[in-house]
Amino acid sequence: MKDKCNREIKHIRFSITSKCNYNCIYCDQEGFIPNTSELTVDEITKLCKILAEILNVTRIKLTGGEPLCREEIIQIIRNIANLHLYKDISLTTNGFQLYEKAEELFTAGLNRINVSLSSLKPEVYNKVYGSDSLDTVLKGLQKAKEVGFNPIKLNFVIMKGINDDELETMYEFCRKNGFILQLIELHEVSEAVGVNGDFYRTHYYDIKPIVEELESRAEKIIIRGSMQNRKVFVLPNSTIIETITPSHEFCMGCTKLRVGCDGNLFGCLYRSDLGRNIKEALRDHHSLSKYEQIVKQVVDSREPYYK
């Protein structure tokens, strides 16, 4: 299914809970919905099946809040895997519970993980995440590697005056461990969330010069056309760095449909207000064509946030 800008929906980003055990300094509160009830495990499974059937998508990313804070996370992954409709099931996590859960997650059918890691310095980590748990996360990453997750991507949000001196250290850490670095430009949080303008203005770091430098260093550059036109740089020592910059180009390459933990379907992190909630319809056992109408309405409402 394509939207009015001819962008086909190719994957689902599903927030399964708004609970989180961290208090990240930059948080865009993706998935945070006050005073709502979360979809049940059965509803999540049913919705994943419906979306795969209507949209022919084969890729899904579970997020939150913190998805590992959802008690039934293993069951959710097992159910999605057992649909045999998704070839790529991934999850983004702060990594705090990864050490204890990595093996079960992998066995349940999770294919890939992204782990938030914006510093390798304990004091900076603590400041960014409001949690004194860098070592716990590093242990979790090693465990995830041991159990077989591959690739493992690290989400590094670059912030002026906080962690902008750590890039080379991160490149080396990723090279040594075979991780892929996702270098993410800080974005302002949406008006719906309504916080953090000052933080953004003080710590926003324009990654253009870094991208130019990577262009000159890279052995190979790939553009992920169906993934917000992200650039992927392969350095001569095999380090892989992916850059993520919100922009018009980024929006034009966006092929995601988002699902909030309460069943709100929406097309853009910044425009959850354009969404439609599918929870009631899920409870009423409609035909696929009824669900298709709802999905189509949401897809039709998609428009690039950066014009």
Phi, psi of 191 (to 5 degrees): -65, -30
**Closest of 82, 18, 70 to residue 45, by C-alpha:** 82
Distance CA 113, CA 97 (A): 13
Task: Determine, following the binding rule CB under 6 A, whether residue 28 of this chain makes contact with ligand SAM.
Answer: yes
Determine contact, residues 117/143, Cβ cutoff 8 Å.
Answer: no
Distance CA 265, CA 85 (A): 19
Sorted by sequence, the CB contacts under 8 Å of residue 255 that are 6+ apart come out as: 7, 8, 9, 10, 11, 226, 227
Task: Determine, following the binding rule CB under 6 A, whether residue 190 of this chain makes contact with ligand SAM.
Answer: no
Q: Which amino acid is at 255?
A: T
Task: Determine, following the binding rule CB under 6 A, whether residue 163 of this chain makes contact with ligand SAM.
Answer: no
Task: Determine, following the binding rule CB under 6 A, whether residue 16 of this chain makes contact with ligand SAM.
Answer: no
Smallest distance, ligand SAM to C-beta of residue 23, A: 11
Task: Determine, following the binding rule CB under 6 A, whether residue 64 of this chain makes contact with ligand SAM.
Answer: yes
Among residue numbers 167 through 186, which ones bind ligand SAM (CB under 6 A)? 184, 186
By rule CB under 6 A, what string of x and - marks binding of each residue 195-234 to ligand SAM? ----------------------------------------
Smallest distance, ligand SAM to C-beta of residue 124, A: 15
Task: Determine, following the binding rule CB under 6 A, whether residue 189 of this chain makes contact with ligand SAM.
Answer: yes
* Region near ligand SAM per CB under 6 A, out of 21-29, 82-90, 143-151, 235-243: 21-29
Count CB-CB contacts under 10 A for residue 232.
18
**Closest of 41, 18, 20, 43 to residue 31, by C-alpha:** 18
* Region near ligand SAM per CB under 6 A, out of 63-71, 137-145, 265-273, 288-296: 63-71
Helices of type H across the chain = 41-55, 73-82, 98-108, 122-129, 134-147, 167-177, 197-203, 208-217, 248-252, 279-283, 288-301
Task: Determine, following the binding rule CB under 6 A, whether residue 242 of this chain makes contact with ligand SAM.
Answer: no
By rule CB under 6 A, what string of x and - marks binding of each residue 113-152 to ligand SAM? ---x------------------------------------
Task: Determine, following the binding rule CB under 6 A, whether residue 66 of this chain makes contact with ligand SAM.
Answer: yes
Given the complex with ligand SAM, which of 92 and 133 has the nearer CB atom? Answer: 92
Q: How many residues bind ligand SAM (CB under 6 A)?
A: 18
Task: Determine, following the binding rule CB under 6 A, whether residue 94 of this chain makes contact with ligand SAM.
Answer: yes
Count CB-CB contacts under 10 A for residue 189.
20
Task: Determine, following the binding rule CB under 6 A, whether residue 26 of this chain makes contact with ligand SAM.
Answer: yes
256 half-sphere exposure, CB direction, 13 A CA radius: 24
Task: Determine, following the binding rule CB under 6 A, whether residue 27 of this chain makes contact with ligand SAM.
Answer: yes
Using CB under 6 A as the criterion, which residues of the chain lie in contact with ligand SAM when the complex forms?
A: 20, 26-28, 30, 63-64, 66, 92-94, 116, 155, 157, 184, 186-187, 189
